[in-house]
Amino acid sequence: MLLLILKAGFKMNLNALKKHKYILKIKKIFTQGISLKEIILSAALGSLIGIMPILGVATILITFLTLRFKLNIAVAIAFTYVVAPLQAILFIPFIHLGEKAIGIKHTLLTFEAIKNAFNSNVLITMKDLWLEIVCGLMGWSAIAIPIFIFIITFKPKNIKI
């Protein structure tokens, strides 16, 4: 019985929270003057660029692309930061996928080795790992391009924000 009362109270508080003026202001920022398709494209673009295996360029690239394609920059950057942990998780798999696509020898790099190298000196690490970064971009492109083409052709119907 107590559980039902708590559930009902939580549901009422959640509904009240959805109508709270600060929540409505935040929602307005993320949905200002754009269609649902543009919000979906902004989220997809932010997610895809956010997992790109080049550290430190996501925000600049997202800003340029959202301005170019007239998408919602707040949504795109928010999704870039939401998927940032995936960038670290997928860094090595993208390198391996790119190596297979290019046909070069498999590298024995680990995430820890790359992390330690970046902690010591970023520029020297970029110079030493340029081939791995190119392979990572190839692996990321092999996945990101088809996904983005699918999202561009996606036609949302009866979806309400």
Instruction: Provide the percentage of residues in the chain whose pLDDT is more than 90.
Output: 18
Please state, in angstroms and rounded to a whole number, the distance separating the CA atoms of residues 85 and 73: 20
By residue count, the chain amounts to 161
Q: How far is CA 143 from CA 22, 90, 96, 140, 159, in A?
A: 37, 12, 13, 5, 26
When comparing pLDDT for 22 and 52, which is higher? 52
pLDDT at 33 over 80: no
pLDDT at 2 over 60: no
Taking alpha carbons only, the member of 123, 57, 112 closest to residue 84 is 57
Q: In angstroms, how far is CA 119 from the centroid of its own chain?
A: 23
Phi, psi of 118, rounded to the nearest 5 degrees: -70, -30
Please state, in angstroms and rounded to a whole number, the distance separating the CA atoms of residues 39 and 30: 8
Q: Which long-range contacts (CB under 8 A, 24 or more apart) does 87-91 make?
A: 87/50, 87/51, 87/52, 87/53, 87/55, 87/58, 90/51, 90/53, 90/140, 91/53, 91/136
pLDDT tens digit sequence for 134-145: 888 999 999 989
Instruction: Provide the percentage of residues in the chain whose pLDDT is more than 70.
Output: 75
Q: Using a cut of 0.95, tell me whether the model's pTM lies above it.
A: no
Taking alpha carbons only, the member of 106, 78, 95 closest to residue 132 is 95
What are the extents of the domains in the chain? 1-31, 36-153
